[in-house]
């Protein structure tokens, strides 16, 4: 797999990573087959994937523990990215569950990283993201704490997830940001307006999550009946009613290009994203080896100028990205 570097401090990664959230949280069957998930992670490593994305809230905690098992004996072969900031470790748990509130305070940064290091069974984290911005803590204070952790060797790089351009600039002024993570795909084009120009001006890498539109761009979802009752996508505005019907047109246009190339719609969607720049490392998620192998083939897929232009003209998805957008882009 081709490799790229993220940020001015040059974190090298394979240009397709693996999002591990669905192995332990939010999707139907998450956590039911840890052995299968570990096999998928191992196959990813064989195929040249190096960037593995998790977070303390995935489970919560279970996903980090899963990755620790998968990486036993392989720590130096992988780039571990995990996230903090949506669990408040400064207060007692409620009914045995962590308190989910935005907290970017320096105290919580330190409490969070110690927990992640323990669960991941490692003495350093390659890329440590603030998962969502905390409106109650100046970003300068949060990044100050992250900079100290870099100096101490507990983390090697830091990033921000779902941060606005002004916040990115303020953070970068304290310590260089290595990567910005946000949703980006043919289904979600929002970053092109301000976020992508900002990170490119500052030399920051970009890590798109949900590059397959939460599975929609694979062409396998045509109705809510195909989703289990506990699948969180049932409550996502883009999968509801008229929005779902309108969004099927995106897959149809992607599928038309896929047929020309004897590829899958998902491979075309990923290839389009990779063609947007050599500073982009998408992290499609899956817990199945077959899906992983399909996704990785996008690294070799070359779209013609005409195909890229036709895909760029596809209108993005109808509907909000989340039912509650309030925590985003603060």
Q: 209-222 pLDDT, tens per residue?
A: 999 998 889 877 76
Mean per-residue pLDDT for 96-102?
95
Among 58, 128, 184, 209, which one carries the catalytic annotation? 58
Contact 284, 235 (CB under 8 A): no
**Under CATH, which number does the domain 3-215+267-302 receive?**
3.20.20.100
Assess whether pLDDT exceeds 60 at residue 330: no
Contact 280, 208 (CB under 8 A): yes
- Domain assignments of the chain as residue spans, ordered by start: 3-215+267-302
Query: Which secondary structure element, helix H or strand E, spans residue 249, and what is its range?
Result: helix 241-261
Q: Which pLDDT score, from 0 to 100, does residue 227 have?
A: 65
Predicted confidence band at 320 (pLDDT cuts at 50, 70, 90)? confident
Distance of CA 130 to the CA centre of its chain: 12
For the full predicted model, state whether its pTM sits above 0.85. yes
E strands of the chain, at which residues?
3-6, 11-14, 18-19, 51-53, 79-84, 125-130, 155-161, 179-183, 205-209
Structure confidence by residue, pLDDT tens digits, 278-307 = 999 999 999 999 999 999 999 999 999 999
Residue 58 catalytic? yes
């Amino acid at each position: 797999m081709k490799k790229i570097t993220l940020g001015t401090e040059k974190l090298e990664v394979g240009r397709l990573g693996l999002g591990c959230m669905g192995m332990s949280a939010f999707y139907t069957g998450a956590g039911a087959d840890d052995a299968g998930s570990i096999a998928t992670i191992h196959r990813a490593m064989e195929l040249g994937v190096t960037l593995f994305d998790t977070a303390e809230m995935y489970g919560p905690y279970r996903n980090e523990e899963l990755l620790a098992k998968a990486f036993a004996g392989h720590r130096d072969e992988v780039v571990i990215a995990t996230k903090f900031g949506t669990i408040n470790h400064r207060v007692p748990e409620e009914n045995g569950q962590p308190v989910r509130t935005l907290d970017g305070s320096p105290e919580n940064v330190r409490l969070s990283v110690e927990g992640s290091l323990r669960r991941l069974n490692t003495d350093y984290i390659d890329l440590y993201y603030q998962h969502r911005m905390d409106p109650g803590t100046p970003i300068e204070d949060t990044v100050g704490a992250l900079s100290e952790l870099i100096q101490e060797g507990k983390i090697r790089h830091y990033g921000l997830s779902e941060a606005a351009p002004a916040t990115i600039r303020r953070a970068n002024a304290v310590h260089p940001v290595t990567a910005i993570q946000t949703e980006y795909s043919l289904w979600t084009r929002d970053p092109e307006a301000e976020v992508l120009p900002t990170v490119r001006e500052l030399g920051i890498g970009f890590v798109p999550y949900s590059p397959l539109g939460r599975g929609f761009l694979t062409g396998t979802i045509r109705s809510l009946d195909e989703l289990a009752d506990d699948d969180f996508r049932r409550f996502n505005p883009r999968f509801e009613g008229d929005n779902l019907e309108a969004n099927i047109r995106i897959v149809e246009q992607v599928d038309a290009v896929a047929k020309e190339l004897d590829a899958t719609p998902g491979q075309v969607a990923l290839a389009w994203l990779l063609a947007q720049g050599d500073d982009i490392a998408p992290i499609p998620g899956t817990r199945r080896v077959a899906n992983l192998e399909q996704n990785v083939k996008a690294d070799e897929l070359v779209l013609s100028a005409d195909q890229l232009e036709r895909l760029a003209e596809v209108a993005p998805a109808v509907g909000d990205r989340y039912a509650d957008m309030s925590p985003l882009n603060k």
